[in-house]
């Protein structure tokens, strides 16, 4: 087999045809998948055949088999988990990332895409109001962004007490205390487990899931070893933001590192009307966010931001004889857990370039506006009640009792016009609406409220 450029034509043509038909049908197809996984599997060959197959035919077979099993996560009526769709600029740039196929580990080796990522990083720090000198790493999602920030945190708090983590590992190390809210995201716990730090010590929250400064102060006072404090920008259920100014001052006075999980909330800082929610957050030491949620780039892209470059490089960097590293700048591989990776910051650049500063602000404002409209509409549905303060993108709805909430959720999902997640918050079943898609408009809101009204009737 030798390389012939023409060989790419047919499969790429087929891919663009299938992509276009998928995207064109998005407004009209049910949001939920029409087939379950058994139906999809039944359409696929179970054994790998002996010989080669034409790549264009492979692409056709793939699309034909899977499309009925796809969830319309890019729909303006998809409000499940916290997901986000894909903007045209970001999707097209993502295709180029695959075609260019750069291993984006080193400035010297792949200067084209690393330059784009460095520009995107600068823009992100500026838009999110974070310190210009912070390191930015493009990871798979907020899970790994949380891991990255907490890895730098662990390194720094142990170094401060004279423990050589790289040489000695954690065995016999002073105990690192991690304080996190009762309402933290599960990925914080998972990141702490990856890091060998065990379960966090939980700190009480208020009725919106915000960490309580008095409880944090008490927790900080009751230990004097190396400490990390995890705060949240954007509670999964309420969308609430922790009181950063007070909490970060308390944590820093106690010598703790502050990490902020802002998977979707950090973007509030890009909006002049929502920025107040982020007040004080820029004083933290590390931040985790996603591009594949609020910024609406394709999966997958998370962003890890660390104020202290030396701590991050020391936690995740490495040196070998065959890497020609840059002496003056961090290379991409030193700021993320991965060694080799795709240039996932390129779609971020494209999305930001297409939107501009005002476009990013409008994107975030629109999500919050739609959440407000949905909350207002829910209030007119008999038996339905919004249980959170809708200040950002999340709306939690309850019906008369848990059974009713579960039943309405099941009927809504079966109906297919919209998708919202069932969840449990503060001890009760809730129907959670997360507005994360750039394209959600008046009609989507209206159709989704009608679907909810039908499900509740």
Ligand X SMILES: *Cc1c(COP(=O)(O)O)cnc(C)c1O
By the criterion CB under 6 A, which residues form the site for ligand X? Answer: 82, 141-143, 185, 187, 234, 236, 261, 263-264, 290, 302
User: Which single residue is written with the structure tokens 């997958």?
Assistant: 300
Q: How many other C-beta atoms lie within 10 A of the C-beta of residue 89?
A: 18
What's the closest the beta carbon of residue 194 comes to ligand X, in angstroms?
A: 13
Where in 122-253 does DSSP place strands (E)? 135-139, 177-181, 201-203, 227-232
Residue 200 or 226: the one with the smaller Cβ distance to ligand X is 200
CB-CB contact of 348 with 291 (8 Å): yes
- On the 0-12 / 13-18 / 19+ scale of CB atoms within 10 A, 336 is buried
- CB of 333 vs ligand X, minimal distance in Å: 20
Which CB, 110 or 335, lies closer to ligand X? 335
What is the smallest separation between the CB atom of 239 and ligand X, expressed in angstroms?
Answer: 10
- Closest approach of ligand X to the CB of residue 434, in Å: 8
**Nearest in space to 112 (alpha carbons), one of 131, 126, 93:** 93
Q: Tokens 């008369």 sit at which residue?
A: 400
CB 180 within 8 A of CB 202: yes
Query: Which of 226, 234 has the CB closer to ligand X?
Result: 234
Query: Which secondary structure element, helix H or strand E, spans residue 260, and what is its range?
Result: strand 257-261
Closer of 80 and 226 to ligand X (Cβ): 80
Shortest Å distance, C-beta 220 to ligand X? 23
Check residue 334 and report its DSSP letter.
G
Residue nearest to ligand X (CB): 141
Residue among 142 and 346 whose Cβ is closer to ligand X:
142
Residue 234 C-beta: closest distance to ligand X, Å: 6
Q: Is residue 354 within 8 Å of residue 87, measured between CB atoms?
A: yes
Closer residue to ligand X, CB minimum distance, 142 or 455: 142
- Specify the residue for token string 């996560």: 73
CB of 305 within 8 A of CB of 287?
yes
- Give 87 or 180: the residue with its C-beta nearer to ligand X: 180
Q: How far is the CB of 101 from ligand X (least distance, A)?
A: 23
DSSP state of 252: H
């Amino acid at each position: 087999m030798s390389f012939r450029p023409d060989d790419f034509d047919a499969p790429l043509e087929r891919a663009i045809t299938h992509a276009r038909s998928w995207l064109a049908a998005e407004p009209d197809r049910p949001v939920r998948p029409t087939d379950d996984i058994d139906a999809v599997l039944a359409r696929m060959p179970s054994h790998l055949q002996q010989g080669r197959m034409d790549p264009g035919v492979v692409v056709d077979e793939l699309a034909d088999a899977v499309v009925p099993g796809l969830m319309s996560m890019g729909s303006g009526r998809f409000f499940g988990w916290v997901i986000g769709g894909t903007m045209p600029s970001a999707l097209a740039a993502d295709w180029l990332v695959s075609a260019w196929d750069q291993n984006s580990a080193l400035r010297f080796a792949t200067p084209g895409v690393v330059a784009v990522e460095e520009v995107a990083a600068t823009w992100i720090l500026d838009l999110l109001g974070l310190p210009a000198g912070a390191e930015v790493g493009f990871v798979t999602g907020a899970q790994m962004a949380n891991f990255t920030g907490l890895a730098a945190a662990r390194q720094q708090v142990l170094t401060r007490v004279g423990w050589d983590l790289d040489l000695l590992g954690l065995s016999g190390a002073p105990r690192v205390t991690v304080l996190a809210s009762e309402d933290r995201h599960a990925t914080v716990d998972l990141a702490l487990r990856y890091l060998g730090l065990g379960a966090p010590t939980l700190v009480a929250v208020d009725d919106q899931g915000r960490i309580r400064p008095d409880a944090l102060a008490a927790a900080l006072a009751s230990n004097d070893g190396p400490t990390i404090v995890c705060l949240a920008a954007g509670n999964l259920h309420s969308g609430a933001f922790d009181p950063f100014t007070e909490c970060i001052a308390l944590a820093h006075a106690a010598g703790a590192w502050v990490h902020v999980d802002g998977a979707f909330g950090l973007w509030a800082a890009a909006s002049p009307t929502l920025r107040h929610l982020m007040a004080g957050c820029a004083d933290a030491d590390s931040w985790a966010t996603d591009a594949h949620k609020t910024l609406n780039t394709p999966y997958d892209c998370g962003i890890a931001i660390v104020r202290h470059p030396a701590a991050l490089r020391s936690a995740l960097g490495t040196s070998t004889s065959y890497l020609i590293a840059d002496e003056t700048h961090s290379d991409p591989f030193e700021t993320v857990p991965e060694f080799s990776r795709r240039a996932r910051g390129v779609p971020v650049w494209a999305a930001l370039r297409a939107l501009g500063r005002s476009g990013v602000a409008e994107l975030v404002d629109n999500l919050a506006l739609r959440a407000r409209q949905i909350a207002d509409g829910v209030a007119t549905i008999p038996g339905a009640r919004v249980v959170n303060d809708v200040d950002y993108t999340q709306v939690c709805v309850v019906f008369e009792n848990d059974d009713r909430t579960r039943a309405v959720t099941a009927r809504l999902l079966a109906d297919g016009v919209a998708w919202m997640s069932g969840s449990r918050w503060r001890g009760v079943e809730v129907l959670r609406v997360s507005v994360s898609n750039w394209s959600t408009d008046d009609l989507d809101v209206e159709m989704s409220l009608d679907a909810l009204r039908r499900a509740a009737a």
